[in-house]
Amino acid sequence: MSDPGLPPGALFRAEVREQPDAVARLLGREAKRTKAFARSLLRHDLRFVLVAARGSSDNAARYAQYAFGIAASLPVALAAPSLSTLYGRPPRLRNALVVGISQSGRSPDVVEVLAAARRAGAPTLAIVNDPDSPLARAASEVLPLHAGLEQSVAATKTYTAELAAVALLALSIGRRREELRQLAAVPERMARALSLEEAAERASSTLAPFTRAAVIARGINYPTAWEIALKLKETALLHAEPFSSADFLHGPIAVAGAGFPALIVSPPGGAAARELAGLARALARRGCPVLTIGPANGTLPLPRVPELFSPMVAVVPGQFLALGLALGRGLDPDRPRGLHKVTETR
């Protein structure tokens, strides 16, 4: 729990700013062991990956769908934990790697997915900040996040550490040596994105009059749209809904107009950059207030980074945007309404 003597959002801000160091620490401590684990998986003839997670970790699981597909040509399914906990019907897991992603490692339904998979003989991995947690004990292998104690209720540094862990694992399984070298440079790009704090605070005033918004991305930053939308909801009480630009064009664009702001996440050089720029223009013509994360001429310009790693950088100004909006509304991001640091779902 946050210290009541601290100003609102002090822990959230500090933990956002710790992210480059947290990711660098993870990569430095776990790269060698992760490569060894990846080699051990060769005997399992992997055909797919099943990931169990909740909350922000679920958005890291969405990132895994792209990272494993790009780096290792492996499809990724997101687990439905209630199949195990409510219905007693865990899926068949032959030729699967089963991964649990969690900050605390204490949600019983995520733990049970890994426990059931391990009983079935599947290789299991816990990506978790607490290496002594129930999730870590349930898995056959553990990839600790090394993010340090996260005190703000809203997850920040544990989320980006999870993204880095997923990227490290996927690249190790795919034996992508050049990309693994590039991954080591990502903390420096994240540190450069920290300079956007003041610009994000100013941009938050665009969202201040509204109760709802869209956060739109495409491809590998679709999970970033989900995570930023979650931060806007839980810290600033803005009903932000995440969309793939492709899905948005298939119907939800009908609600776009002057009362419906949009935040578009499109890091420079991304595969969907042209499509997203066109959507931003189309929304502006409809009267939508439009903010952008990524383009050099946009609201919150990002440093260039290989697209696979861009979610670790793109989420940073989104976190600052949520912080600025929450504080502008007189809210404390460290103690969001109705939330606790650990939520145990069954």
- pLDDT tens, 18-69? 999 999 999 999 999 999 999 999 889 999 999 999 999 999 999 999 999 9
Q: What range does the domain containing 76 cover?
A: 10-184
Assess whether 18 and 150 both reside in one domain.
Answer: yes
Q: What is the pLDDT of residues 183-204, one digit of tens each?
A: 999 999 999 999 999 999 999 9
Q: What is the pLDDT of residues 306-315, one digit of tens each?
A: 999 999 999 9
* % of residues, the chain, pLDDT over 90: 86
Assess whether 179 and 200 both reside in one domain.
Answer: no
Confidence (pLDDT) at 15: 98
Assess whether 177 and 201 both reside in one domain.
Answer: no
Q: Please state, in angstroms and rounded to a whole number, the distance separating the CA atoms of residues 11 and 151.
A: 7
**In angstroms, what CA-CA distances link 114 with 100, 128, 254?**
7, 13, 41
Assess whether 30 and 61 both reside in one domain.
Answer: yes
**How far from the centroid of its chain's Cα atoms is residue 273's Cα?**
20
Q: What is the CATH number of the domain that holds 230?
A: 3.40.50.10490
Assess whether 52 and 112 both reside in one domain.
Answer: yes
> Closest Cα partner for 216 from 240, 237, 198?
240
Let me know if residue 178 belongs to a domain: yes
Confidence (pLDDT) at 151: 92
Assess whether 74 and 212 both reside in one domain.
Answer: no
Task: Assess whether pLDDT exceeds 70 at residue 171.
Answer: yes
214 touches 248 (CB < 8 A):
yes
Assess whether 62 and 108 both reside in one domain.
Answer: yes
Q: What is the pLDDT of residues 55-102, one digit of tens each?
A: 999 999 999 999 999 999 999 999 998 888 888 888 889 999 999 999
Let me know if residue 344 belongs to a domain: no
Task: Assess whether pLDDT exceeds 90 at residue 242.
Answer: yes
What pLDDT band is residue 342 in, cutting at 50, 70 and 90? low
Confidence (pLDDT) at 200: 98
Assess whether 234 and 295 both reside in one domain.
Answer: yes
Let me know if residue 345 belongs to a domain: no
In the chain, the number of structural domains is 2
Task: Assess whether pLDDT exceeds 90 at residue 5.
Answer: no
